[in-house]
Amino acid sequence: MHKKEIILITGVAGFIGFHICKKLLNESYKVIGIDNFNNYYDVKLKNSRIKELELISKSKNNTFICIECDLVENTKLNNIFEKYNPSIVINLAAQAGVRFSIDNPSAYIKSNLVGFSNLLECCRANKIKHLIYASSSSVYGGNTKIPFSEKDSVDHPVSLYAATKKSNELLAHTYSHIFGLSCTGLRFFTVYGPWGRPDMSPMIFTKSILSKKPLKIFNNGEMYRDFTYIDDVVEIIFRLLNKPASSDKSFNNKKPNPQSSWAPYKIFNIGNSKSVYLLDFIKCLEEEIGIKAIKDYVEMQPGDVKATEADTSEIESYVDFKPKTSLKKGIKNFYAWYKKYYK
């Protein structure tokens, strides 16, 4: 792809959207970012991310335009596509969070289903070369076979958030089949790092440890997560830009592989392929911060799962890259940013 072509990123003020945009601007790509700046978490953090991107864009003397727009605003979305004519779309806009979906289902239906279908329609109408979109490890739901593979069935979600992400994959496949839209879905596994979301465990844990407040530890600490450092995620997305999904010539309709298709469609796990015991993660944070956590052990929350671990063999061979940031280094980088940002 030529650097004069335009990449559109939805959810650009979000955690992953910000980091991929930063990488693209540093590589001299032109980026159109859209975000609805909703108040699911502190809007100041979202605005700070955008200011940072504007500074990079200015220093590199290249194009970065940020537009406030919700994916449900169909006319506005259409106008953006027609005006800027992007070649590649990276969709990271969504109503996030498993626990919030229990109390606010309508926010997920609106953003993750209506919004995503509007985006697919814009991609079709504007002949987008490649749509890369965020799915989630949550789609594995009630599965207990570890590690999770893209070839596993994901028909038993345990949260509405997971159900909407699984629906995104189904909608994308239909557009790939009917309209030949090249779609790559990414199932992210617990992404963490600088500029992270305040509702994610590293931020919650750090805040509790520093303020010496009890830290809620679900399922009495018997939790395992595949923590994936943000820079590794960005590197994978960057390598995927010029690898639009193509038809799987060896696809067998009698034994369908959920990871690929006869249509230009792919699904990948994006993880670290290591499951970390939650108490070990907290211990690593305690050592970095230099303060012991006050632990409050509680029951498992509805919609949560005990363990996640990604089989990442598919993406590693596809883009020739294996996540390499250690937990110790990732937490060190995260905490250095946290101290600086929150002073």
Residue 154: name the closest of 136, 170, 171, 166 by CA. Answer: 166
Distance in angstroms (rounded) separating the CA atoms of residues 227 and 323: 11
Query: Which residues 6+ apart lie within 8 Å of 271 measured at CB?
Result: 137, 187, 188, 189, 190, 226, 228, 308, 309, 310, 312, 323
Distance in angstroms (rounded) separating the CA atoms of residues 93 and 63: 21
Distance in angstroms (rounded) separating the CA atoms of residues 311 and 271: 8
Distance in angstroms (rounded) separating the CA atoms of residues 185 and 134: 6
90 φ, ψ to 5°? -115, 110
Catalytic residue of the set 40, 41, 108, 161? 161
Distance of CA 267 to CAs 38, 87, 149, 316, Å? 28, 20, 10, 13
Distance in angstroms (rounded) separating the CA atoms of residues 297 and 217: 5
3-state helix, strand, coil in the chain (%, to 5): 45, 15, 40
Determine contact, residues 192/228, Cβ cutoff 8 Å.
Answer: yes
Structure tokens at 273: 């392929």
Establish whether 161 is a catalytic residue.
yes
Catalytic residue set:
161
